[in-house]
Structure formats: C-alpha cells, structure tokens
Amino acid sequence: MAARSPATPAPMTRKSGEREGEMGVEMSPCYNLCMPTFTVRTPGAEYPCVVERGAIGQADLHLPPKSGKIFVVTTEDVWDLHGPKLRDALGKRAFHPLFFPGGEERKRIAEVEDLADQMLAQGADRSSLVVAFGGGIVGDLGGFLAAIFMRGVPVIQVPTTLLAQVDAAVGGKTGANLRGGKNLVGAFHQPRAVLIDPAVLTTLPEREYRAGLYEVLKTGIIRSRRLFEIMALDWRRVLALEPHVVDDIVAESVRIKAEVVSADEKEGDLRRILNFGHTIGHALEAETAYSRLLHGEAVSFGMRAATHLSLRLGALDAGTHGRIIECIGAYGPIPSLAGVRAEALVARLGSDKKTIQGRVHFVLAEGIGATRIVSGVDEEIVLEATARSLAELAPAA
C-alpha cells in the first residue's frame, strides 16, 4: 500500500465532551476539538485513550512527575519510521530504546526476560517507565515487561498498527505465547495512557492494514450497527485510507473498547464479547505455528466460523448471517489454509484460555450489535462450522 500524506481530519459530528457513555466512559475535551479522548475507568486505574493525528507528540504530557529512566520497547522498522516523532516528544528526557525482533513466533517468555535483563543492565529501577511503541505484539510484550519488572512499573501504550490501535493497546491485557496456545501467560496491567495517531497507518503494508480491519469489523458486529454499516457499505473508502473515514472507525472502535473495559476489566462477563472469532482464530494461529497468518487474518477465519456456528445454533437469521460473511470477504483474501484440518483446530480448543473447567465458550452473533455467550456446544456442530469455513476459503478446483 503506497504511503499517503496525512490530511486534516474532517470534524466529527459527535464532538469531544458532548456526552458521557452509558458505561461511564466520557468523551473528554481534546486538543484540536475535532477528535476525541476516551477515559477508561477501572477499580485500580483511570487513563485517557487519545485518538488524534499527531498524538505521539503528546507522550511527554503523560509521564509521571517523578519518573525515572524511560525504556522504549519497539522494533527497528517502527523506530526508523516513527522514532523521530517520539524522540521529539520526549524532548530532553533521556530514554533507552529496547529493540524486539518482532513476529508472533518470537512473542515468548524468553524475549521478555531478555528485555528485562537489558533494562537492569541500563540501571532501571522501580521509578522507571516503559513505552510500548509498535504493533500488538510489542504492546503485549512491552506491557507484560512493565507488569512484572520489579513487580510492576508504569507503561504508556503508543500503538502504530491498526489492530493495536483499535484493540490490543486498550484494556491492560498483556502476555506472551506458549507452544500450546496464544497469550497463555500474562497479566492485566493498565497503562498510564494510550496515544493513538491514525496518521501512522498510512505507512503500514496493505496486508497489515487489512488485518487490523477485521478487528474493527468484529467491534461493529458485537456492539455497533453504525460501525458495521460503515465497514459493509463504505469498504472502498475504508481500504483507500480516506482520512476522515479511518479516523471515524478508529475512534468508534476505541470508544467501544474503552466502554467495555470500564464495565468489566478482567473479563468476568461483558468483556468476553470481545472474543468473537478469537476462540477458533487462536486455534488456527497455534495450528499454523504462528507463522502463516497475522492475528487479524486468523480472527477473520474465526469470525467466519463463529458466524456459521451462530446460524447453526439458531442465534442468527440467514439474512444477517449472509451480510456478515459477505463483509468478512470484502477485506480478504487471507493466506492459503491448505493442509489445515478442521479436526485439528477443534482439538486445540481445549487449550484456549477461554476454556473453563473443560467447557469451551463461544461468542455467538445474535444480530448486528448483539451477542450471546454459550458453552457446551456439541463438538460435531463446531466441527461442521469450522469445516464449512475451510471449504469456503479453499481454492476452486
């Protein structure tokens, strides 16, 4: 995807400070009066999620008054593209970049230990602060590093991919993968702030951008008819990265994520709806050794299977089922799934962290913006939905 020059965002019809969300998430006054800030409130933390072009330049405003050394966890490609913006924002504050090699297959405990050793060697202590500056993997690992280093230091999330901006960076989930499954070790560690700059998305490869769009679509399916309709009807403008459309879908996704996390920080109830498509999607990532698909691509497959499952169990009508499947397809294709067997994916579901006391939980769509969580689904029905999804994506004979 060719890089585009950032354009001035069009004013949003819903202005900052206009109203307070039903879950206690308020839209606070923002810097340029065009784009919003959403406040996440949990029992142990309160922090802003700033959605604004140029938000990286606000990093210094969110540093603790007596913070010590700053450690920026990032990848070399992100640092080459966007590092100067963060360097300028931090001004005269000394900081230490910590480079992570990147890739889902490297999202392991060994990498966290290596980053912690680097922090210690450079004089980190309990007053230190971590800035997670990159995509979802960097955010997860950087947040986990902050959660466990000396039993916890502050972290600021500065996401640079669409998937990280609309999902991974908001909500305090951190973690690393095990061979047996995704994010099976981790901690809830809420950031001091999340700084979301939609302008950086113009530098993403097309595949990476499309992968993030699946998380946006998921958010529309589970919680926002308006967002779903944008994704379904304006997909050409979404794919063309039209600035005001991108700003709108990012802001709406962050609003919903902040609202859900404020109501249910640790996934005891409502937050589980965010896992739509993730149960089978995580199984697909593990089955392909975290090397064939991007996370959003695996979620797209999982959403396809979850939508078929919703229809099969009578939760979803045929017309809405067709619209969801069509919209998922509009943002494809995803890499070939040749050699992946439905039986192998279903066999992995028992290792998913959403499996509780041996019962696999699924988020079903009941309509656009409505969901239901079920468990105890007959394995043959899950197998049927998974096999149907694989067949739909198989190359034509």
CA end-to-end distance (rounded Å), the chain: 30
Choosing from 19, 66, 92, 151, the catalytic residue is 151
**Which positions ≥6 away from 385 have C-beta within 8 Å?**
305, 306, 308, 309, 312
Choosing from 82, 107, 255, 271, the catalytic residue is 271
**Geometric angle at alpha carbon 34, from 28 and 38, rounded to 5°:** 30
Q: How many C-beta atoms lie closer than 10 Å to residue 367's C-beta?
A: 15
Q: Rounded distance, CA 58 to CA 384, Å?
A: 49
**Cα distances (angstroms) measured from residue 253 to each of 7, 88, 166, 215, 296:** 21, 28, 5, 9, 15
Active site residue 295: yes
**Cα distances (angstroms) measured from residue 166 to each of 79, 233, 274:** 21, 20, 12
| Cβ burial, residue 159 (10 Å; 0-12/13-18/19+) | buried
The residue among 126, 123, 134 whose CA lies nearest residue 100 is 134
Active site residue 215: yes
Active site residue 278: yes
Choosing from 53, 189, 218, 257, the catalytic residue is 257
109 backbone dihedrals φ, ψ, rounded to 5°: -55, -35
Choosing from 104, 267, 287, 297, the catalytic residue is 267
> Which SS3 state, helix, strand or coil, does residue 101 take?
coil
The residue among 269, 250, 390, 397 whose CA lies nearest residue 334 is 390
DSSP assignment of 34-60 equals SS-EEEEEETTEEEEEEE-TTGGGGGG
Active site residue 20: no
Choosing from 107, 275, 285, 308, the catalytic residue is 275
CA atoms within 13 A on the CB side of 133: 30
Choosing from 85, 223, 255, 278, the catalytic residue is 278
Active site residue 353: no
Choosing from 218, 282, 304, 354, the catalytic residue is 282
> Which SS3 state, helix, strand or coil, does residue 213 take?
helix
> Which SS3 state, helix, strand or coil, does residue 74 take?
strand
Choosing from 111, 215, 259, 265, the catalytic residue is 215
| Cβ burial, residue 56 (10 Å; 0-12/13-18/19+) | buried
- The 8 Å CB, 24+ separation contacts for 4-7 are 4/202, 4/241, 5/202, 6/53, 6/199, 6/202, 6/243, 7/243
> Which SS3 state, helix, strand or coil, does residue 129 take?
strand
Active site residue 189: no
Choosing from 62, 82, 107, 173, the catalytic residue is 173
Active site residue 46: no
Active site residue 275: yes
Choosing from 182, 218, 255, 295, the catalytic residue is 295
Residues annotated as catalytic (active site), given as ranges: 151, 173, 215, 257, 267, 271, 275, 278, 282, 295
